[in-house]
Structure formats: structure tokens, C-alpha cells
Amino acid sequence: MSDTAAPALKHIFDPARLRHIAAETAAVYPRFDSKEFLKLALKDLDDLSLMQRLRRTTECLHATLPADYPKAIAILRKLAPRINSGFVTLVLPDYVGLYGRDDFDTSMEALKFFTAFGSSEFAIREFIRQDPARTLAVMKTWAKDESEHVRRLASEGSRPRLPWSFRLDTLMADPELAAPILEALKADSALYVRKSVANHLNDITKLHPEWVLKRLKSWPLDNPHTAWIARHALRTLIKQGDKQALGVIGAGKKAAVSISDFSVAPKKLKLGERLALSFTLQSTSRQSQRLVVDYAIHYVKKAGSSSAKVFKLKELTLAAGDSVALSRSQVVRDFTTRVHHAGRHEVDIMVNGERLASGFFELLKP
């Protein structure tokens, strides 16, 4: 896992939490050396980031639990329901990923068990990287498990580009390897699972868009669960105006519409102020239309050029001759992934992938 979280989150692993872990571990394993655990865990804690603190906790448990791996896992299984934070339970599968790679069967059962308390999505990737065929074979059975947590693990853990984790080169090169998992979950009843399947497929669109489009076209899109997955799986391609992707969700035809009263306000604003967009969308067709309405802001870069960022606005079915007023507002502020620069920012309205209106605002210098 990489460390891209906000610094404040590191306090999830504060001294009080570490003392809680020590006390609960001692409750299920009386021989546990709480004093040694805390001595190791609290050393230079202030200097550690969130993910460093998580890993430190894992290492300190390993230093103070039995050296015998199955015995340590048995203790951690008793500990899992006693930990008072879902995020903190990530320490348990992290232990498996770090120390259990030579005991495959014990580790698979442990990860399956731990995922219901937080998630084993990061740790399972260590095993996929080490032995993809054997690990994916187990995960295919998880895709049919009664627990939605286990089913989600099958999809989320095998995502090619899982955030906060390393990329799985094998699956990035050949998405067919995890296809049986996605097939088993294509109409899952749990939204928790469907979100993972959609994100998994969206990962794949960035390298193998044709593979995803072909698979989705073969799925029963009249099933509302499957249709939901398809819409969210294709979000990146839809923002790019990909006609095949738009066609899958029923919006592949050129939109017969006009746009009036397009407003971008205020025309000049400072960082931290709110930008408001509004316009009227009028049908010029004699038939109802499925429409995907997006807007793009062309953010000015430091060197003066610009780069467009597409935002979702509305998906709708517009009846023949009807019109609809649409609006959206957002605060213009810096993020860790985007720093704003002063200058003229173009704003486009796109319907079914085509630009139909343009405006602009000027971001003033601080």
C-alpha cells in the first residue's frame, strides 16, 4: 500500500488505539507481552504516516506473538471482532500478507475470515503476485460465497489498479484471468459488490477498452443490477465520448437537442469561491432520447496550457419536444491531485459525447 491519505488520518493509530490493541490481544492471549508491544509500537510514532503506523503495528504484533504462524493466526482470529475500528483491522490481513506467504492454505482461510471486519483486498494481492493461478482459483470460489464481504474481496482484491496498492502486472496484461470472477458477480444483489465489479471493469477500460465493451455487450443488460454495473464501469469511456460505451447504456446516437441560456457565473472568481453553471436543454426530436450530459473545465496549467477534466452532470430520458433546466455548482479549490493556476478557464457542455455549448470564467491571482 502506498501512503496517499490525508495526514490527519494517521491518528487512527494513536497511543490510545495501540493500548486498546494490546489490551484486547492480552485478553485472548494471556501470555501476550503488552509492555514490549507498546514499547515497540510507540517508538517515534509521531514521525510515522498512516500506512507506516499500520505496518509498524503489524510488525510489533509479529514480534510479540508466537513464532509459529498458525498459532499466531489463531490468536488474531480471536482478536478480530474485539478491535474497535474497521480500518485498524487491516493490520490483521496485513500480517497474513507479510508473514504468511509460505503457508498458502492457512493464509487463504485467514484472509477470507478477516475481510468481513475490514478488508483483505490489499493482502490478497501479495499472493496473486506470488502465485496468480493458484490464488485466482481460490478467489473464483469466493465469488460464489454467501458473504457479500467475501464476494467483494474476490473482485476488489483482483483489481488490476487498486488504489493504495501496487498494480498487478499479470492482470493488467491479461484481464481474461479474472474474467470468471466478474462473470460470477455480474448481477450480484449487493451494491457493495457491484461497486467493486464496476471499479474493476473501469480499471480494465484504461488498457483494454474493447475487451470490456465486448464483455458488457454479452451481459444481460435488462437486469437492473447488471445495467448498474455497466453504467459505472464505462464512466471513463463515457467521459471521453466513446460512442460504443455510450451505445451500451442507450445513449449512442447523436443528441437532437439545443442548448439555451448557458450561464457561467461569476465570470471572475478567486480560489475558494463557488462556480455556478446553468442552461436549458431543449429536445428537437420527435422521439424520446437517452442523454448523457457532462461538463468539462479546461484547467490552466502552470506553463499556461490547459487540460480538460470532465464531470458528470446528468443522465436522463428526454421526451419528444420537452425541455429541462439543468444546473451545477462547485467550489474552486486546490486538491492534492489538482492545483489551480490563474487565467481563463474554458467550460464546455457535452451531450452524448459532443460539445454543444461553451463558456468561460477567469480565475484571479491570489
Give me the CATH number covering residue 168.
1.25.40.290
- Give yes or no: residues 183 and 101 share one domain: yes
- Give yes or no: residues 264 and 243 share one domain: no
Rounded CA-CA distance 101/119 in Å is: 18
Rounded CA-CA distance 110/79 in Å is: 12
Other Cβ atoms less than 10 A from the Cβ of 334: the count is 10
Per the DSSP assignment, residues forming a β-bridge with 357 are 349
User: Which helix (DSSP H) or strand (DSSP E) does residue 354 occupy?
Assistant: strand 354-363
Longest dimension (CA), the chain: 78
- Give yes or no: residues 301 and 196 share one domain: no
- Give yes or no: residues 54 and 141 share one domain: yes
- Give yes or no: residues 121 and 202 share one domain: yes
- Give yes or no: residues 282 and 232 share one domain: no
Q: Are strands 323-331 and 274-283 parallel, antiparallel or unpaired?
A: antiparallel
Tell me the residue length of the chain.
366
In a domain, 1, yes or no: no
pLDDT at site 337: 84
Q: How many domains does the chain have?
A: 2
Rounded CA-CA distance 217/249 in Å is: 10
Cell 496484461 appears where?
173
pLDDT at site 3: 47
- Give yes or no: residues 261 and 224 share one domain: no
Q: Which of 201, 279, 281 is nearest to 238 (CA)?
A: 201
In a domain, 178, yes or no: yes
Residue at which a domain ends, from 218, 248, 278:
248
pLDDT at site 362: 98
Residue at which a domain ends, from 215, 230, 248:
248
CATH number at residue 347: 2.60.40.10
In a domain, 13, yes or no: yes
- Give yes or no: residues 193 and 282 share one domain: no
In a domain, 231, yes or no: yes
In a domain, 235, yes or no: yes
- Give yes or no: residues 180 and 316 share one domain: no
Rounded CA-CA distance 267/264 in Å is: 7
- Give yes or no: residues 236 and 353 share one domain: no
Rounded CA-CA distance 227/84 in Å is: 37
In a domain, 217, yes or no: yes
In a domain, 299, yes or no: yes
pLDDT at site 251: 95
- Give yes or no: residues 27 and 113 share one domain: yes
In a domain, 2, yes or no: no
pLDDT tens-digit profile, the chain (366 residues): 544 444 478 999 999 999 999 999 999 999 999 999 999 999 999 999 999 999 999 999 999 999 999 999 999 999 999 999 999 999 999 999 999 999 999 999 999 999 999 999 999 999 999 999 999 999 999 999 999 999 999 999 999 999 999 999 999 999 999 999 999 999 999 999 999 999 999 999 999 999 999 999 999 999 999 999 999 999 999 999 999 999 999 999 999 999 999 999 999 999 999 999 999 999 999 999 999 999 999 999 999 999 999 999 999 999 999 999 999 999 999 988 889 999 999 999 999 999 999 999 999 998
Residue at which a domain ends, from 219, 248, 277:
248
Q: Which domain holds residue 352?
A: 257-363
- Give yes or no: residues 262 and 223 share one domain: no
